[in-house]
Structure 1
Amino acid sequence: MSIHSKPLSLQINGKPVGPVSVPEGLMMIDFLHEYLDLTGSRLGCGQGICHACVVILDKPDGTSEEVRSCITGALFFDAKKVRTVEGHARRNDKGEVVALSPVQQKFLEHYSFQCGYCTPGFVNAATVLLERLKRAPVARDQVEHAITAALDPHICRCTGYVRYFEAVKEVVLGTPGLVKESK
């Protein structure tokens, strides 16, 4: 029996990767961890339920979406643009973090995590939400509903939901252009 491999080329966190020969059944989370040493996405349930493993897929139309990397094969991402939690902070030429993203900063300020295992998924979910609201602002009276809808699929075993929610709400309400006044 032999393992069939195919070439994979994609962009991760703004940098080209590949072509790299990968086994056909390799899940994206394993590619990130084992081939690129990007271990921020977490393997929680391995069944696509907890969402600790999500990465952001940037679509050609400028929209983005979360994709569960534990149940999505690496080859699905061929010729696509992906962001991992490692790609959110701003870095200098040496690769050192010089500024966190607004979401990461608010998560720290609110101490939105306990063990931190689910945090990468929540960071990506909140980032996708902010990007969606930049394109289509939500009415002020719908902010909490929008945040709940974005974060609901994510499971936190330490029950940090309130702190995640409050941090995201602060980012949404504090970022100009994401909220429109209700009529």
Structure 2
Amino acid sequence: MAKHLMSLILNGQAVGPIEVADDLMMIDFLHEYMNLTGSRLGCGQGICHACVAILDHADGTSEEIRTCITGAHFFNGKRVRTVESHAKRDDAGAVVELNPVQQAFVDQFAFQCSYCTPGYVNAATVLVEKLQRQPVRRSELEQEIESALGKHICRCTGYVRYYKAARDVVETLGLVKEG
């Protein structure tokens, strides 16, 4: 298989240039090259969204990208965040503080087996960042949460708690307008 050089900004750090096979999926690059195993390979078909990473755009917006069906080279020259990037860490790499989304998920015990949790955390993070730019009306909040989290599959049926955690963090951060 042919290989080409790839460079990206991953969790705020420059990576590459590194030689990567043309047919390597991003999830395999994250796991095998970068030892970032937080994004989970669930279905391998882009349906469950356990594998999502966050793609940051130059205009300050972000979106979820399914890494199990997106080749690593798609991310060449781009800014990517994985679930490992959210918590604050000390110089030794130990987690010292969760971000508000992670903390809301813990507070709501919004997981059972936790396999799908990284995807939900990334989805809720993208939602929070969107609402920080443009808060939502209270009457539209449930639709925004459904739009952000609705494609994610939890085989343990933890949906209620994931949605509640997302709602809590949005409200706690003051990202809801009355009306």
TM-score, normalization: structure 2? 0.99
Q: Structure 1 residue 82: deviation in Å?
A: 0.2
In structure 2, how many angstroms separate the alpha carbons of the residues matched to 1:108 and 1:140? 24
In structure 1, how many angstroms separate the alpha carbons of the residues matched to 2:146 and 2:77? 32
Alignment partner, residue 176 of structure 2: 179
Q: Does 1:61 align with 2:59?
A: yes
In structure 2, how many angstroms separate the alpha carbons of the residues matched to 1:102 and 1:174? 9
Alignment partner, residue 145 of structure 1: 143
Q: Structure 1 residue 179: deviation in Å?
A: 1.1
In structure 1, how many angstroms separate the alpha carbons of the residues matched to 2:16 and 2:76? 10
Alignment partner, residue 102 of structure 2: 104
Q: Does 1:51 align with 2:49?
A: yes
In structure 1, how many angstroms separate the alpha carbons of the residues matched to 2:68 and 2:172? 33
- Dislocated runs of 4+, deviation >2 Å: none
Deviations for 1:62-91, whole angstroms, at most 9, x for unmatched residues? 100000000000000001000000000011
In structure 2, how many angstroms separate the alpha carbons of the residues matched to 1:22 and 1:61? 28
Q: Structure 1 residue 12: deviation in Å?
A: 0.6
In structure 1, how many angstroms separate the alpha carbons of the residues matched to 2:15 and 2:93? 17
Q: Does 1:86 align with 2:92?
A: no
Structure 1 spans left out of the alignment, 5+ residues:
none
Q: Structure 1 residue 30: deviation in Å?
A: 0.1
Alignment partner, residue 129 of structure 1: 127
TM-score, normalization: structure 1? 0.97
| One-letter code aligned to 1:121 | G
Structure 2 spans left out of the alignment, 5+ residues:
none
In structure 1, how many angstroms separate the alpha carbons of the residues matched to 2:39 and 2:128? 20
How many residues in Structure 1 have an aligned counterpart in Structure 2?
Answer: 179
- Aligned residue for 1:33, secondary structure, equals helix
Aligned residues: CA RMSD = 0.6
In structure 1, how many angstroms separate the alpha carbons of the residues matched to 2:13 and 2:90? 15
- Aligned residue for 1:38, secondary structure, equals coil
In structure 2, how many angstroms separate the alpha carbons of the residues matched to 1:10 and 1:31? 12
Alignment partner, residue 14 of structure 1: 12
Deviations for 1:1-28, whole angstroms, at most 9, x for unmatched residues? xx10000100111001111100000000
Alignment partner, residue 40 of structure 1: 38
Q: Structure 1 residue 145: deviation in Å?
A: 1.2
**Selected match of 1:157 from 155, 163, 173:** 155
